[in-house]
Structure 1
Amino acid sequence: VVTKSTVPVGTGREVAAILRRVCPSGDFDVASNPEFLREGSAIEDFMRPDRVVIGADGDRAREVMRQLYRPLYLSETPMLFTDIETAELIKYAANAFLATKITFINEIADLCERVGADVQDVASGIGLDGRIGRKFLHAGPGFGGSCFPKDCKALVRTAREAAADLAIVETVVQVNEARKTRMADKIIAACGGTVASKTIAVLGLTFKPNTDDMRDSPSLAILPRLAAAGAAIRAFDPAGIDEARNLMPDLVYCDDAYEAAEGADALVLLTEWNEFRALDLARIERLLAEPLVIDLRNVYRPAEMAAAGLSYVSIGRPPRLSPALASQ
């Protein structure tokens, strides 16, 4: 019996205990084989994994799992055999570490804005250190989705039940939730301190590109706050509109980015879909009532936006504002 889902530490032992109670004479093994698949690239991740983790106590279970993964083993995919509890904890620890890395660079981005530094250059500079690495050093509005928020909270609860505090992970959860709210405040500030009676165009609603998943998406925290402050919101997402409409029915949903931008007082880039990386900036500038772009994913270069006649506010980088906006 193999568990691939992310489950609390101790689940494998409990499954084994249940099976023994129900079928005392049964001949079985229990193993943990957590998956490390990203939404939007699950097949690629399964076929070419960074590693395969297998938690099992007996040699028979380990050999069965080794043969099951033999095609990957032949391609020299690292295989790590551990006990069941260790395998279960590896998955939680991995996701909590990545969430911590995201939260760290987000806080560094806040500092960059205060001191006039560029968070992307900071991320590149520290990412070149082999001990740190470049991945997950992209500042933004906070992490979401079905894994990181849930797994961090589950790990914190497991630690509390085991009387082992995880202060860092607890702080990551708190800081990430607060960040989403502050992103709404950042948008309001960029719009001159108020969005009352203003129209805000929003590009991207899902928590990441290449999925329709809205779970814990930053948009669910940011957009209702803007609406409560008096903004009318026109939104577009390549895949998430149907689910977003169920969760935020009061928004106006558009068929493409340019329809969303038409007549808006600001455009907010909230999810870094590839199609938003190559917008016709001259067309965007003509469509907007006020040429203001607030890029919460740092998709564009400030100089590029300024050349297109757009005022530009991003994450952890100095803003490029028109004289009119700069004076507000």
Structure 2
Amino acid sequence: MQNTPTDQRQIEALLDFFTSAGVDCFLGDEQVDWFARTREAARVQPDQGRPGPQQVSQILPGSSAGRDGNRSQARLDPQARLDPQTQFDPRAQSAPQARAPGTGPAAVLPDGEVIAAARDLAARASSLAELQACLETFDGCNLKLTAKKLVFADGNPQARLMFVGEAPGRDEDLQGKPFVGRSGQLLDRMLAAIGLDRSSAYIANVVPWRPPGNRTPTPQETEICKPFIVRQIELVKPDVLVFLGAASAKTLLNEKDGIRKLRGRWMTYPAGGREIAAIATYHPAYLLRSPLEKRLSWRDFLAIGQKLSG
């Protein structure tokens, strides 16, 4: 039976919807609880030792145990973590561990141990290049498993002005740079309105990996990524810090108010022994949906320009 033109258009529309939502492939018709299977695989009696490749393939279908023993052990150890300084050791419990190139990370349970490891990694970075390298090898955030690229930053790290958003979207995930889609183009026009451009600003996000389907990052994902953006701000040392949207302001300023109460109000952000002038404004993506609010953001950007020239 051949598809009619109407059927073909419906199929194309459905595929376009899935692509926009972040769906890259179809894995199966039924959901699989991989955490439960991992726990089942880990419940091996001590006197029996770790299961061999054949046992692993029976418990975890599709695993690469027969091809890579280290990778199978990483899947079986729910406490495994990554550290860019060391090789993977399934017996290590204290810090994130690095796996061999090409093996790929396994999902982790977002807990206090992972957050503490993220703080330690971020604190050890003495430059933006080192911080980016830490994020490239850090596997404590499961968003890395679905994102195509790390979205670290864009602009001038020596600039006096720094913008912080919440998380990258589809265009940012494809290019590896923050605010390059429609919202980024609007941000560029807003900067131009006060005589600035990307060479006059440094742009980053609290979460450097795109959440699937552009969903909101979970509180656990935000807390895991928070130490890295905190350290990023300390290393950039801006004179003016702008939070694009309520999410980044709430995360870094520990505020509970919404963006309508936060925006346009000057605050201070402590970083590296100094206090940075900080202000929140509407996220460009919100302005695309609510163009009438652009007048308020225009006031905010005028205040930002005055602060920089003062």
Q: Common fold, TM-score beyond 0.5?
A: no
TM-score by length of structure 2 reads 0.32
TM-score, structure 1 normalization: 0.31
